[in-house]
Structure 1
Amino acid sequence: MRFLAAAIVLLVLAQSLPAEAGKCPKVCSCDGAKLTVACVGKNLTMVPPTIEEITLKLDLKNNNLQVLLRGAFVLTPYLTHLNLQRCNIIRVKEGAFRTLGRLVSLNLAFNQIDILYQESFDGLSSLKELHLDHNRIEEIQPGAFTQLGFLNLLALTHNQLVYIPNMAFQGLLNIKWLRLSHNSLNNLAPEAFAGLFTLSRLSLDNNELQFFPTQTMTRLGEVKRLDMSHNPMTYLGEESVSMAKLTHLYLNHMSLQDLSDQALSHVPLLSHLDLSHNQLRNLEPLSGPKKLGSLNLTGNPIYCNCYMRPLKQWARAGGVKLLGACAGPPHLSDEPLQTVAPLNLRCRSRAERLTDEFEEESDSTSSPPTAKPKQNSKCPANCDCDIESQHATCEGQGHTKVPRGFPAKTQLLDLRSNHFHYLPANSFPGSSQVVSLHLDLCKIHEIESGAFRG
């Protein structure tokens, strides 16, 4: 309301000012009725000093300002919207915006800013939107946002952030959406998002996160939408996601090989889960989400055998729509997951597998010496090897040494909850195809050089 009242007062003032006071800078176009000034693409190196004091909206995009000096906008204190896109801005000095207490929207996208300093945004006490997309930001200094208590949207996409330190966003008391997409983030401090009590949407897609930042995310109690897509994660373990109000989770276009059935056990309100375009061959029923309406598995190499039957039964019982199609076996290829009948989700009997193995051995002996040998189907004692899904597990079997003799094509190897203590060199011979290895809770205290060779 106060902005509306101020605008009305300014309009009255504008109409009562003498004609000579309304002079517009030569390189700009001005609208006295709307109190707007546009100086677009004029190669300006500084803010024109003759812009009317009562201007509300100022568009300076496509210029060459480079450095915003202290008090750069002291002559236009009533601005509510300021566009500084593509102005080759390298640095925003302390106090550059200090007189803009009425500004609600600031666009600094497509510039050359590399560091956000402590006092860069001092004075923007009414700001609601800040766009810093497509810069070169690689560092956020403590206190950079402490003056932005009314900010709703902060966009930092397409920058060069690698790490978010503790308390990086301190002061954003009314933030609703934080966009950190398209950076190079590979690490988030435990308190990186501390104090964001009103945040409801977080975008972290297209970064370099290899593990779900559980400790960091747990502090975001109000987030409803979380986008983690296009990050190189291979596995989501037990209780990875613990976010009480999360409803939409995007984990698509990653490298997920496996997902624990307990990974989402603390996300009770989840309604939409996108796991499309990963490397999942099968999936266990998910514990935790009670309101899940859709599960997107499009683009995964889902193998529709008996191991998928529990997921189908779980989805039917909970009214979960399964999106995606079977990648195999051949007779079910491209069959929609939603319509494939549970009775068709079968596994070969032991007799059938032995027959196939005998035929493979026969083919191997009759093939030329240079032919590639067929896959060995043996499995170490107290382990379970699924040739079709290329998964092997020895979870919780009390092994004190890493078992040997897994099928050569094994891609996911689960050895968690054993008692290895020590991993010697060459602990995994014949495991060159493994892309996801799980050794959590194995009480390992020493790893010899070359333990993971091959």
Structure 2
Amino acid sequence: MQHLAWLMLVMLWMVQAAEGCPDVCKCSRKSGPEKSEVNCHKRGLRTFPSKLPPDAWILKLGENGITDLKANALRSIPKIESINLERNAIKSIHPQAFSGAKQLMLLNLYGNHITNLPPRGFQDLLNLRFLMLGHNQIGIIKPQMFAGMRNLSDLDLPLNGLTTLPSNAFKPLIALKVLDLSLNRIQRISPKAFIGLRQLMFLNLDNNSLKNVPAGAFRPLRSLEMLVLDNNLLSTLSSSTLDGLGNLQELYLRNNELEHLPPDVFRNMAKLSQLAVSGNRLKTVDGNMFAHMPDLKKLSLHDNAWQCDCNIVSLVQWMGQTKATLSPRDALKCTSPLELRNKSLSRLQADKLSCRA
């Protein structure tokens, strides 16, 4: 009798699920008696479906032709936890589009045509952990766009049109741990751009147009462990550019236009284990700056314009003593003077390096 009752309940649920499932989609039960997955991936949809199972918790809507998200689009599915809307044609998002979706944890909007985020448009998403906004056309970010998102852990904004990071841009995101801003056109960072990001552990600014970073801009990032600044236009770092990064373990400055590194630029960064400054215009550096990094395991210095004279003696001496991996050691070659051109730095004898008067 109990078995029959259970069977009737299952059949009833299946009827209810079928009633709430869009015709072109596939709905299936997952994880428990009150959760269903709705798969509408690549089904030719032009609008956000209005008929959805009320117990939907995963919604897959990728690779359709949806152009906008209207007010209260999620009101009928209050238990929704994950929505994938990647590679649609979304241009506009109503400020109340996500109203009521207080259990949503993942929202993927990668690869749409979004140019602007509605102010306070995500404020109901109190439990959102992951927000993917890459490969859109977002040109401006303001703090009110992220209002209420106190539990967001991962914000992906690569491949957009950002040119500036204004003051307090991410201030509401007090729990953010990962911020990806790569492949934008960022030229200017406000000294107060990163205020509030005390939990941030990974910051990616690869492939932007940064010529400099204002002193103290990274100071709020007390938990940062990895900073990527590869493929920018940085020509100089001041002694205070990297202030506040006492927990940093990996720093990548490859393929910039750096000509000089102040001897104290990496001071107070004792936890640094990987440092890459290859592909710059460095002629010499003070080798003593690396001696203050007890955890340094890997250092990338190749593809620079090394001038092998008396000014490089401290670097050559440090290279002979360190246990760190120089990657790759054989690619570290002199550019000048002419008689030492293409000679490996590791083969130089410090006591024979001189500076012409």
Give the TM-score normalised by structure 1.
0.69
Cα 1:277–1:26 shift into 2, 3 Å: same
Q: Secondary structure at the match of 2:353?
A: coil
Give the AA of the match of 1:311: L
2:317 matched to which residue of 1?
A: 313
Distance of 2:310 and 2:324 partners within structure 1: 19
Matched, 1:262 2:264: yes
Letter of the aligned partner of 2:250 in structure 1? H
Q: In the alignment, what sits opposite 2:3?
A: none
Residues 302-381 of structure 1 aligned to structure 2 (within 5 Å): 302-323=306-327, 324-328=331-335, 334-337=342-345, 339-343=346-350, 346-347=353-354
Q: Is the 8 A contact 2:317 2:350 kept in 1?
A: no
Q: Distance in 1 between matches of 2:54 and 2:342?
A: 65
CA contact (8 A) 1:239 1:265 kept: no
Q: Which position in structure 1 is the counterpart of 2:4?
A: none
Distance 2:29 2:83 in 1: 17
**Corresponding letter in the other structure for 2:285:** L
CA pair 111-286 structure 1, distance change in 2 beyond 3 A: farther
Find the residue that maps to 1:31 and give its secondary structure. strand
SS, match of residue 17 in structure 1: helix
The two structures, once aligned, show a CA RMSD in angstroms of: 2.4
Q: CA deviation at 1:60?
A: 0.6
Within the alignment, does 1:292 sit opposite 2:296 as a pair? yes
Name the amino acid aligned to 2:349.
P
Match of 1:15 among 10, 20, 26: 10
Report the equivalent of 2:157: 156
Distance 1:112 1:160 in 2: 11
Quickly say closer, same or farther: Cα 1:173–1:307, change in 2 above 3 A: same
Distance 1:334 1:55 in 2: 64
CA contact (8 A) 1:308 1:345 kept: no
Offset at residue 149 of structure 1 (A) = 1.2
CA distance in 2 between partners of 1:14 and 1:311 (Å): 75
Q: Which amino acid is the alignment partner of residue 87 of structure 1?
A: N
Out of 232, 244, 247, the residue aligned to residue 249 of structure 2 is: 247
Alpha-carbon spacing, 1:283–1:57, altered in 2? closer, same or farther (3 Å): same
Per-residue deviation at 1:301? Answer: 2.5
Distance in structure 1 (CA, Å) of the matches to 2:51 and 2:8: 17
8 Å CA contact 2:189, 2:213 repeated in 1: no
Choose which of 23, 29, 33 in structure 2 pairs with 1:26: 23
Contact 1:226 1:248 (8 Å CA) reproduced? yes
Q: CA deviation at 1:153?
A: 0.5
Check whether the contact 1:237–1:262 (CA below 8 A) recurs between aligned residues: no
Cα offset for 1:271?
Answer: 1.9
Residues 129-151 of structure 1 show CA distances to partners (whole Å, capped at 9, x for unaligned) of 10000011111233211221111
Q: How far apart, CA to CA, are the structure 2 residues paired with 1:47 and 1:13?
A: 32
> Residues 391-410 of structure 1: matches in 2 within 5 Å?
none
Whole-Å separation in 2 of the counterparts to 1:208 and 1:21: 54
Match of 2:38 in 1: 37
- 1:55-114 Cα deviation digits (max 9, x unpaired): 221111122222211110111111111001112111211121122111111100111111
TM-score (norm 2): 0.87
Once the two structures are TM-superposed, the CA of residue 194 in structure 1 deviates from its matched residue by 0.7
1:257/1:26 CA distance change after superposition, 3 Å? same
Report 1:131-210 matches (<5 A).
131-210=132-211
Residues 13, 328 of structure 1: CA spacing in aligned structure 2 closer, same or farther, 3 A cutoff? farther
The letter of the residue matching 1:208 is S
The answer as to whether partners of 1:264 and 1:286 remain within 8 angstroms in 2 is no
Q: 1:332 to 1:124 in 2, by over 3 A?
A: same
For residue 211 of structure 1, report the CA deviation from its aligned partner.
0.9
Aligned to 2:281, the other structure's residue is in SS state coil
Amino acid at match of 1:22: A
Aligned-residue identity in percent: 28
Structure 2 alignment gaps of length 5 or more = 1-6
- Give the C-alpha shift of residue 152 in structure 1: 0.9
Partner of residue 85, structure 1: 86
Q: Give me the whole-angstrom Cα distance separating, in 1, the residues matched to 2:154 and 2:184.
A: 17
**Structure 1 stretches of at least 4 aligned residues deviating more than 4 Å after TM superposition:** 329-336
The answer to whether the Cα contact below 8 Å between 1:170 and 1:195 also exists between their aligned partners in 2 is: yes
In structure 1, C-alpha distance between the alignment counterparts of 2:9 and 2:71, rounded to whole Å: 27
- Identify if the C-alpha distance between structure 1 residues 300 and 77 changes in structure 2 by more than 3 Å, giving closer, same or farther: same
Note the residue ranges of structure 1 that are not aligned, 5 or more in a row.
1-11, 351-454
Report which structure shows greater RCO (CA 8 Å, sep ≥6).
Answer: 2
